[in-house]
Chains A and B, each alone.
Chain A
């Protein structure tokens, strides 16, 4: 019978990655000087588990590699080895290697043998240093099977108290041979009245007849009890020779102190398709579904030919209201299941900051708050990379070197604050540094160079800072390996937008910068404001709406021919005639007959002209890309209560469309822009 072990692989990978995370944070604590025995034990156990599991499931390379790590950790927990920075660094490096190995195996790609070898050498060097370098000893005893054996087995009195059963041992012994003669020796048996049945007083002499029984086979039967009995094995035939050989492996090689490369860890986002859920959340769900079933059966009575009169209609309305309540609660409950604390995304940062501050020779302190703030699992997995990029950016370009900081009267150590909190229906993540801030002049110069900005344009500070999110933008003089290749920030913004979120930056020269990311709590559902444009219904995300207002003619101003702005209190907001951009026939082209809805995305505001405001409702976001394609300006579609499809507007995308149109004056189907 062979059992397919592959079904357990995924669990093994998941728990191993978790174990590696535990090892890593434990090792980082050790490095801070926190030499806690419990900590070392935890690190040891994680390594031990991975070694055991990988061996069991056939991942020999991993098992071998982990074995050395485990030996080192074992020495540390037994007090045989001092916990030095060098040792911890090497172990941290081995965690990286292990991660990469496991990822490679999981994806079916090749293991980076050279990095494995490199770290193995380093570990073995450490092991070889202080211990006597015994390495592995191999003793081979080749026993030539004789015609048979005589086995004298005298168990000690307490043998049964370890759960061992002499009958079982004899049975096993018997199975080795073709035939056996057993002589029992009862000489030591006391009188029945004095006999304690839990003691073993008997011994046996067994002649095992067979041609292919080796002495090792026999010893193996007694392997568990060889300290609980007397065992004498003699061959029945004449010849007997044993050959033994011993090997010992001494590997003490010189290696230089391991300067860990910061990019050791392959940053592949591991998207697992399972989720750990608190039992209480599941119980909540079960309760809710129970309520739903009750409500449903109550309502179904109305479908069974009950007459409709005033009182039944009231009951029907009540039932429907209950249904709405339960459905909403159920929905919230289910969404909560997909929510996980952002600590999962944050936890890689202590290590990252630690490594990067070594690479850049800067002193950095990382402060994290709000790690328990929850967000949707998918959003969580996808926000990791953009966050890493922003933190690297702060580290590389934001925080100054210790000398520069001291010269400007700051403390030597720069501080990066990573925080998360809920606001409205969103989760807000902020990356704040107390570095040099963004350099306006460099940005404008670069932008002009790249043609992103015309020479005459006058931009506000915020608009200047926003330029860094344009494609191809980078003001780094030297493209460092980590960031500054100019492909970063626009990808960050795009990735965040794809999650339905937005990112903006605020900065003060000399004092630092703050990057703010806003993300919806869930990808699937949206609070929508229905608006009417012509005969069509569109949906605006409520979260982006600042206010809606009726148009006062005197506040409308024309600018440079084809664009209009609206004066709202003390600012001028561009008016976007959505019907033009989307080529829809509106009910009226007079702004005064309709309404303006002021919306905001990524720090920019526009006022969208609509014919009508229709209700607000929660809306399930359906993708247009499943069967069709992504349309600029739209973030998806939804199905309204009457079964028709309504399109959901992507505010940031719409703003871009509007800006492009203003630049190009492109005629579109259904109508043109007033040139």
Chain B
């Protein structure tokens, strides 16, 4: 089954995302900030990245930008979790190489639907 990297500095969000995705049969790895996520992504191949934007140490957009530059992540879907309904964060994300976004708050079903769509 597909391997997903879930990045968020909020433990409760990570728990919820992991629980939801694992329940659907995906393998999930967690990270609490962009730097940790980058390290993990480099040491292990993931099929999908889901990351929050506002995080300490390294934020989501910088993380996506860095990871997109890695050869084996050129085409990997990367989704941002954002509460910003303002367009600029989404645009920044896209400019950094994000595939798309999921707007917070979301419920588990919405998450699963989006993941299914993206992973096929």
A interface with B by C-beta (< 8 Å): 1-3, 5, 7-9, 11-12, 15, 42, 44-45, 48-49, 51-58, 63, 160-165, 168, 171-172, 198, 223-225, 227-228
Contact = CB atoms under 8 A, between A and B. Distances in A.
A163 B83 CA distance: 22
Nearest to A223: B100
A227 B101 CA distance: 14
B11 to A, nearest CB: 5
B83 A168 contact: no
Interface in B90-114: 91, 94, 97-101, 104-109, 112
B80 to A, nearest CB: 10
27 contacts: A1-B108, A1-B109, A2-B109, A3-B19, A5-B108, A9-B12, A11-B11, A11-B12, A15-B10, A15-B11, A45-B9, A51-B83, A52-B10, A52-B81, A52-B83, A52-B104, A52-B105, A55-B105, A56-B106, A162-B94, A162-B98, A163-B77, A165-B75, A168-B117, A224-B99, A225-B100, A227-B94
A194 B70 CA distance: 24
Interface string B14-41: 0110011001000000000000000000
Interface residue SS majority, chain A: helix
Given A12-B12, A52-B10, A55-B83, A44 B94 contact: no
Contact of A57 (B12, B83, B98, B120): B12
Contact of B16 (A15, A56, A164, A171): A56
A8 B83 contact: no
B101 A224 contact: yes
A595 B30 CA distance: 65
Nearest to A18: B11
A463 B83 CA distance: 62
A73 to B, nearest CB: 11
Range of interface residues on B (Cβ < 8 Å): 35 or more
Contacts of A12: 10, 12
Contact of A161 (B74, B101, B109): B74
Contacts of B23: 1, 3
Contacts of B106: 56
Interface in B54-95: 54-56, 68, 74-78, 81, 83, 91, 94
Nearest to A164: B99
B105 A63 contact: yes
A49 B55 CA distance: 9
A15 B12 contact: yes
B50 to A, nearest CB: 12
A193 to B, nearest CB: 22
Nearest to A52: B104
Nearest to B15: A8
A49 B52 CA distance: 10
A161 B19 contact: no
